[in-house]
Amino acid sequence: MGVHPKVGLNKGGKNASSDVGIKTIYLSFDDGPLSGTTNCIDICSREKIMATFFEVGWHQSRSAFGKKTYQQILNNGALFTLANHSYTHANNNYLNFYQHPDSALLDFIKAKSVLQTGNNITRLPGNNAWNLMGIKRASPLVLPLVNKLDSSGFNIIGWDLQWRFNKKGRPIQSPAALAIIVDSLFQHHQTVTKNQLVILMHDHMFRTPADSVKLEKFIQLLKQRGKYRFQKLTQYPGLKLS
């Protein structure tokens, strides 16, 4: 886990070049361990689908449940990758967090030591920023932190598509509607990297049986297309080694 050949962006890289035509989906689940994480683990395991869990260090370390769920993900390295989503999740005060990039960097470093993810992939709380080899997308607010994370060897991966949730934390788009958007984004090359699509979901969206069924349905619809493969974000093109 965490070992990735050093490749260029998409063209001419040793392993990426042969894969460049294959449409690859990266499922990512944010903010766990939370209620709902276990359902995400179970469904992906049942469907034999790879996924990435962006975990919050505090959610892992605050309870026995958090540690146990974290361990379940770690134990299934064939299917799952853990990634760093900060320690505090900015205490959900994003403006303050990003205006203090030095303490924000320390927050990610603390999460790194707690989560022991085995890779240097991060995602900013509440912000769709990217920083990989040859890819940089950051608003002025987060740019100072993005630069500090970059200098410290972290990769930052945002998302191409979000399965949104309502005020009750339940999925908004239907599985069928979301799968059609996936098709469209690939078809019209509206992804950050061509033929690579990162989907953001949140563990807590799937805490009830009724909503868990939607996740399984979504995965089944994508599998039925027969033209997509699923990967962990450790395989995303352009990750820099540190």
Candidate ranges 24-32, 74-82, 171-179, 217-225; the one touching Zn ion (CB under 5 A): 24-32
- Stretch binding Zn ion (CB under 5 A), from 8-16, 22-30, 180-188, 212-220: 22-30
Beta carbons of 169 and 211 less than 8 angstroms apart: no
Of 31 and 216, nearer to Zn ion (C-beta) is 31
Q: Which residue has the tokens 């869990």?
A: 53
Instruction: Count the residues of the shown chain that bind Zn ion, applying the rule CB under 5 A.
Output: 3
Distance set, CA 184 to CA 2, 130, 158 (Å): 31, 22, 19
In sequence order, what are the residues at sequence separation of 6 or more whose Cβ sits closer than 8 angstroms to the Cβ of residue 89? Answer: 31, 56, 58, 59, 125
CA–CA distance, 232 with 98 (Å, rounded to integer): 27
| Identified binder of Zn ion from the candidate list 4, 27, 29, 30, rule CB under 5 A | 30
The binder of Zn ion chosen from 7, 16, 31, 191 (CB under 5 A): 31
CB of 16 to Zn ion, least distance (A): 28
Closest to 195 (Cα-Cα) out of 17, 43, 2: 17
58 vs 65, which CB is nearer to Zn ion?
A: 58
107 binds Zn ion (CB under 5 A): no
User: Binding to Zn ion (CB under 5 A): which residues in 179-218?
Assistant: none
User: One symbol per residue from 110 to 149: x for binding Zn ion (CB under 5 A), - otherwise; what is it?
Assistant: ---------------x------------------------
In whole angstroms, how close is the CB of 46 to Zn ion at the nearest point? 25
Cα torsion through 151, 90, 182, 194, rounded to 10:
-10
Alpha carbons 206 and 82: distance in angstroms, whole number: 18
Residues of this chain that bind Zn ion (CB under 5 A): 30-31, 125
